[in-house]
Amino acid sequence: MIAFLEGKIIALTSKNLVLLTPGGIGYEINTPKTQLEHYSINQSVQVFTYLKVSEKSMELFGFATQKQKDFFCLLLSVKSVGPKSAMHILGLGPIEDTRDAIARKDAAHLCAVQGMGKKTAERLVVELHTKIDTISCKEPMSETQESVFYETVDGLVALGYSKQEATTCVKTIFSVEETTATLLKKALQLMQR
C-alpha cells in the first residue's frame, strides 16, 4: 500500500492535487479542501496517504499529518461512511472541532457535510462517540481543573457507572469554568438520556 509520498505539486483542483515525485511519477491525490487552501503550485510537500482499491478504480487520499489520516480511517470504520464522505467531514474544519462534536453527540454539526443526511450523521455519532478521546478544552488543564475532572469521574463511578463510561461522559462536557457539582449534575443528565 502507498502510505506516504513526497514531491512537488504540479496541479491543483478543488478536490485534489497532482504530486510529482523525485522518481518522475505523478500521483493524483484527493485532499480535504481545508488542506488544499494551504497548497500552491511548485510547493514541495510530504503527504500521508490512504489507497482505496475497488473493482472500478484505485483512488489515493492524502493528508498533511498522520493524525488526519488516523481520523479519516476512524471515520471509515462506520458502515455508511465511504472515503469521499470522510473527506467531506475532514473538510468541515479543524479535526479537534469535529472530534469534539462527535464526542458530545452533536449530529447537527455533521449534517453540514455535503451528501450526509441526518440518519447517517446520527449513526456516525452513535458509533464513534465512545471512540473519541478528547476533552473540549484545548489548553492543558490546571491542577484545579484536573481535580474537578477526576472528582466528577469518581462521583459517577460511586453512583454505579463504569470508569470508562464516566470518563467518556465527562470528557464530552468538560469545560474550564465548571465546578465539580455543576459538572456532575450535567454528567448525570447526559448519562440518563
Mean pLDDT, residues 66-90 taken together: 89
Secondary structure tally for the chain: helices H, strands E: 9, 5
pLDDT for the residue 138: 45
pLDDT in tens, 170-190: 888 888 788 899 999 988 988
Structural class in CATH, domain 143-191: mainly alpha
Least confident of 24-28, 44-48, 123-127: 123-127
Asked whether the whole model's pTM tops 0.85, one would answer no
* CATH for 66-128 (3.40.50.300, 3.40.1790.10, 3.40.50.11290, 1.10.150.20): 1.10.150.20
pLDDT in tens, 155-169: 888 999 887 788 788
Q: Which residues neighbour 62 within 8 Å (Cβ) at sequence distance 6 or greater?
A: 5, 17, 19, 29, 30, 31, 35, 47, 48, 49, 50
pLDDT for the residue 103: 80
Compute the mean pLDDT over every residue in the chain, rounded to the nearest whole number: 85
Query: Alpha helix locations (H) across 80-179?
Result: 83-90, 95-103, 107-110, 118-128, 143-158, 163-173
Q: Which residues neighbour 123 within 8 Å (Cβ) at sequence distance 6 or greater?
A: 78, 79, 80
Three-state secondary-structure class, residue 23: coil
pLDDT for the residue 43: 96
Least confident of 43-52, 79-88, 98-107: 98-107
Domain boundaries, the chain: 4-63, 66-128, 143-191
Structural class in CATH, domain 4-63: mainly beta
Q: Which helix (H) or strand (E) holds 31?
A: none
For the cut 50, the answer to whether the pLDDT of residue 104 exceeds it is yes
For the cut 70, the answer to whether the pLDDT of residue 133 exceeds it is no
pLDDT for the residue 29: 96
